[in-house]
Chains A and B, each alone.
Chain A
């Protein structure tokens, strides 16, 4: 998963300049082409407070520019989400990462208007969510977008299969049909044999599989995950992450995944949006964040990340100089450093980073060692 960056429009992500080793790659913007995107968010605000004051915040430049604490002191309103812009491509796993209180859970709830946004537009598969009436919104939730919750949100009075079929029941699907579909999905998430159990009889990890199955049952185009694994034990969490990766490979949904765990973000996310105090700090692929943190906040975040496991060769290569021995192996720019260590260290000549037959740069022992030692 970590390797397959850039499934969307490749031109939209600006790759690092090869000019010099220590040149920072420019930060890639969150925006993409909205016509291609599955989810497109523009100027999204959520301000909690009295209705009149709250709606004024996004439209008043002075207030909109204020920091969160300033705004609270001045107006008593809490700006949970401030002026967010981003696009999610079809089939992409888009991770929103931030510490608690950063507004990420509010953001994901705004996407289907479980929380009513204060301002901005949200387009999902070409439809403007913010203009939808109740009925259209319900249809959207029933058919196009599903959600997985941190504490699972299961119905304790219903069996596993009835929980999974719940969304289908809401749609008005016949009992036989929804039971059939639910059985399929239960198999898909590996819960076969537990159809008749009650949620309380299952472990946390298994309960979240039920949550997953429920979200998958309606065959939605988009799945939203609100910190789905943070209530689980570390080992179970790893299993579940693998499960999501596997499911993504099998069903290929567009996913928006909320987490406060950077390693989870790096593991799952095609791209990651880092939020702080309701605002975007940086959007980019894992290597982009690790290789070129936008500011000290992000740098602090990624400090503990094993860089060799995240960075790809294009982030550490240097320009070839005439003195270089050009007899080394050729590797693609998106090979992760860790996987290239052996190749680089074993050969005396630096490894050539080549895309489409064009030489982008070279990676020698010093470059590799700096990364490995630094992590």
Chain B
């Protein structure tokens, strides 16, 4: 009996959801406008005021309170010294020198030699070309500031992350404790923790680096742990049987064997740190992020794109070099003898590389030409311009002004259509229903989709959101997030199916997705502000662009993961292409679809918040305003908390839904 009943469960779930929606709409029609919790932009609750007072008292006591004196301030000063040291080395005038210690030639050669020594000659060429390109873009100094910041963050991440990873691998209990923390560090919109960080560390590069560390550390911890756990027990037992101590096992067996995975973790940490540079610029961290932020203020698409491109170039170089290093680590694991068999030759090569580097560094230290990147070269009588950046800027700017001029008739109606027919109705439903009605409807939806636990988490989070006093703003943010997520999922399915079924499409589209993901989110905002004005719609478009690549990739992988034979079996049963997609490939990738939705939501939420900077309003604006208006600091802090709460609720509900949906697909034959 029970078995038979389960057959009809899925359609049942849909009916329940429809029921919830209908009930909600009916009650909304009756109760609209009553029991709403609204708070005018200038108003604050007592909670917000208390947080403001906290801010002031911290400001007043930061140099007398022992917690600050001996802990927080020490961290701040330490980090600042470290960054200043790196900046003097790479980017900023050092001491009495008008230029940094190592000029562009030195940096290019050092990077090339490192890439060649730990990766291969191809990435060495890439590193040289990439760094020279940064100079040609006219962005050498901000690029080096960004590099210095990234190095600082990554070094801190590695110094703390690898030991933590070892602990995670060794102690199950520790793993259980730290996993949810890592989840939170990665899913929390990065924007949100800037405000509490400034409360502790004030503004400045140190705070920027600390924010980068928070976001970028989880991968290195996770992958270190994963690499260590993946070392086969037999190998460890073999070591034990030879009488090695636990530290010996770790140092001589496990860490070397996990080396490749750890390098991959470092790679991901670098990428994550780089993706934070623009956010870090909000707290006065120097570098390319500053350039992007300024361009956003002056709506200068060319400058924004040029600086964004520089971040992409940095990311690509660092990514490829570390990837090559990890591949080389594997190659040497497997066939140490095949690579550069003769150690004498190898030592010789290292020596030559060292000499070349030393010469280059000396030249860049001594000669003006090699210290600051020249904007032109005078060879004989001819002047060779090296300012590629201006060209890039003017091309992009003219492309945008064309779009602004000639696409205005299209962009306006699209914006209004989405705003009036999707965004406004949904936003009204969410924020003009009595709060308890919205609350119940969301919790019920969570229950139907994700079960009891999901409902409990949703209820807890929403309850706390009510406590922040920012219910209405939260619902507005939720509305924009949901709409953008729907678009992301639709795009994810469309392109994902296409790419999953067609290798050539995949080959053609994937590089664009990669570039979209590396480009800092802020850079998208600039052209869309130009096209759509400072509206919520702009935020939605930017969020869709930011989140769609992830969703598309996940869906494409899911579709590709459907065994070829199953697809063939469907074809041999006479399925049309449409039937193959809808009856076989999509249902079998339901886990990927759910995961894509989950990731889409998280990414969208992060971006919708950033869009608060340019008219997105709601929670994002509250956070930005909290940053820049001390009277709204508390409100901003509360808004940050509300964003995190929304994020946790959305994440948990979609994850439980994914687990339930994929119940019978998970164990498919491979």
Contacts and interface: CB of A to CB of B under 8 A. Distances in A.
Given A151-B669, A196-B4, A140 B574 contact: yes
B324 to A, nearest CB: 30
Chain A binding surface SS class: mixed
A22 B635 CA distance: 102
A156 B664 contact: yes
Contacts of B584: 155
A147 B569 contact: yes
Chain B binding surface SS class: helix
Contact of A157 (B6, B563, B579, B590): B590
A198 B576 CA distance: 24
A31 interface: no
B413 to A, nearest CB: 38
B664 A170 contact: no
A96 to B, nearest CB: 16
A139 B588 contact: no
Given A151-B565, A196-B3, A146 B572 contact: yes
A260 interface: no
A171 B574 contact: yes
A285 interface: no
A276 to B, nearest CB: 24
B565 A155 contact: no
A171 B583 CA distance: 13
B237 interface: no
B568 A153 contact: yes
A12 interface: no
B664 A198 contact: yes
Chain B interface extent, by class: 20 to 34
Contact of A153 (B569, B579, B583, B664): B569
Nearest to B565: A153
Nearest to A211: B569
Contacts of B664: 156-157, 198, 200
Interface string B552-593: 000000000001011111111111100100011001101000
A1 B579 CA distance: 39
Given A147-B569, A155-B587, A196-B7, A170 B575 contact: yes
B668 interface: yes
Interface residues of A, number: 36
A229 interface: no
A154 B665 CA distance: 11
A159 interface: yes
B421 interface: no
Contacts of A104: none
A114 B565 contact: no
A112 interface: yes
Contact of A156 (B3, B565, B665): B665
A153 B584 CA distance: 10
Given A154-B566, A157-B664, A200-B667, A142 B4 contact: no
Interface in B218-246: none
B566 A153 contact: yes
A171 B574 CA distance: 8
Contacts of A218: 573
Contacts of A224: 572
Contacts of B665: 156-157
A149 B576 CA distance: 19
Contacts of B583: 155, 166, 169-170
A198 B667 CA distance: 11
A151 B562 CA distance: 13
Nearest to A140: B574
Given A151-B669, A198-B664, A112 B572 contact: yes
Nearest to B580: A170
Contacts of B4: 196
A170 B588 contact: no
A150 B570 CA distance: 14
A169 B573 CA distance: 10
Contact of A150 (B565, B575, B579, B590): B565
B572 A141 contact: yes
Contacts of A138: 574-576
Contacts of A112: 572
B568 A149 contact: yes
B667 A167 contact: no
A109 interface: yes
28 contacts: A114-B572, A138-B575, A138-B576, A141-B572, A141-B573, A142-B573, A147-B568, A149-B569, A151-B565, A152-B565, A153-B568, A155-B566, A155-B570, A155-B587, A156-B664, A156-B667, A157-B587, A157-B664, A158-B587, A166-B573, A166-B583, A167-B573, A167-B574, A170-B574, A170-B579, A196-B4, A200-B668, A211-B569
Interface of A: 109, 112, 114, 134, 138-143, 145-147, 149-159, 166-167, 169-171, 196, 198, 200, 211, 214, 218, 224
Q: Which 6 A-B pairs have the closest CB atoms?
A: A153-B569, A142-B574, A141-B574, A147-B572, A167-B573, A196-B3
